[in-house]
């Protein structure tokens, strides 16, 4: 049974939950729904605190696994441009699909671009889990979420991304509520010494929460 180390909670899960609460405080109050330039600074500070805290923690023995097949410099030289081009191609292709099928930007963003962004992360988590690096797999997914809710939000915050559409506002609320549910559930089920056992029953809790989230978003969009 895959087991995630208990340290994943203080290093990743708790900071992720705090970032979700910060973003909710910056975007959800009706008086200033959306992101303003000052929010970009707050999000960057939050990411910097998370990064510094994670890097300054005492190091422990790494999880077992085979050594990398490529040198780090060569892997980075191949990987970084591929990630950048893939992200650009995903967004452009999703926009073209949305225009072809007459889908709104909200639908394209949630269910097309969001899915395309999750696929590389899901493949990385699957690959690491198969190598026995379950903690690394879960931590990678959480770190990606933290970056997505901080650094990735800087550009729209500098542009002044207001939320004037009620369905979009409610979808944002549902999204943050789902993230909060998953993180609180993960933390509550974690054992302080043994960590988190990713049994079928526990994973089903997260899958069930995602199903409720999808139903809620579909209902909001239908209105």
Provide mean pLDDT across the span 132-145. Answer: 88
Q: Which CATH number fits domain 3-57+78-222: 3.30.70, 1.10.3470, 3.30.1360, 1.20.1420?
A: 1.20.1420
Give bridge partners of residue 34 from the DSSP assignment. Answer: 162
Binned at pLDDT 50, 70 and 90, residue 86 comes out as: confident
pLDDT digits (tens, 9 = 90+) for 148-158: 899 988 888 88
C-alpha distances in Å from residue 133, one per residue of 37, 129, 130, 202 = 39, 5, 7, 19
Answer whether 23's CB lies under 8 Å from 149's CB. Answer: yes
Binned at pLDDT 50, 70 and 90, residue 165 comes out as: low
pLDDT digits (tens, 9 = 90+) for 110-129: 778 888 878 888 888 888 88
* Residue whose tokens read 């993180």: 183
pTM for the predicted model, two decimal places:
0.79
Query: What values do phi and psi take at 4, rounded to 5?
Result: -100, 135
Q: Which of 146, 148, 127 is nearest to 136 (CA)?
A: 127
- Find how far residue 93's CA is from the centre of its chain: 21
Give the integer Cα–Cα distance in Å for 7 and 19. Answer: 18
- Find how far residue 151's CA is from the centre of its chain: 12
Q: Quick one: tokens of 171?
A: 């979808």
Among positive and negative, which fits the CA dihedral 167, 143, 122, 133? negative
Query: What values do phi and psi take at 160, rounded to 5?
Result: 75, 60
Question: Could you tell me where the DSSP H helices lie in the chain?
Answer: 8, 14-27, 37-56, 72-101, 105-108, 114-130, 134-149, 154-159, 166-189, 200-222
**What ranges do the domains of the chain cover?**
3-57+78-222
What's the mean pLDDT when you consider all of the chain? 82
């Amino acid at each position: 049974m895959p087991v995630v180390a208990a340290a994943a909670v203080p290093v990743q899960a708790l900071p992720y939950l705090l970032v979700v609460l910060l973003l909710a405080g910056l975007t959800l109050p009706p008086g200033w729904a959306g992101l303003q330039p000052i929010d970009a600074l707050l999000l960057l500070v939050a990411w910097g605190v998370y990064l510094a805290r994670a890097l300054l923690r005492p190091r422990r023995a790494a999880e077992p696994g085979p050594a990398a097949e490529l040198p780090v410099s060569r892997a980075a030289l191949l990987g970084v441009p591929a990630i950048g081009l893939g992200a650009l191609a995903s967004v452009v292709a999703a926009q073209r699909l949305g225009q072809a099928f007459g889908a709104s930007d909200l639908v394209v963003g949630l269910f097309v671009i969001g899915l395309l962004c999750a696929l590389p992360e899901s493949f990385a988590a699957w690959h690491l889990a198969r190598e026995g690096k379950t903690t690394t797999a879960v931590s990678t997914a959480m770190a990606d979420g933290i970056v997505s809710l901080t650094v990735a939000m800087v550009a729209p915050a500098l542009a002044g991304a207001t939320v004037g559409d009620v369905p979009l506002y409610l979808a944002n609320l549902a999204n943050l509520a789902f993230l909060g549910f998953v993180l609180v559930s993960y933390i509550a089920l974690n054992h302080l010494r043994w960590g988190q056992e990713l049994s079928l029953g526990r994973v089903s809790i997260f899958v069930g929460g995602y199903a409720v989230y999808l139903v809620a978003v579909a209902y909001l969009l239908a209105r």
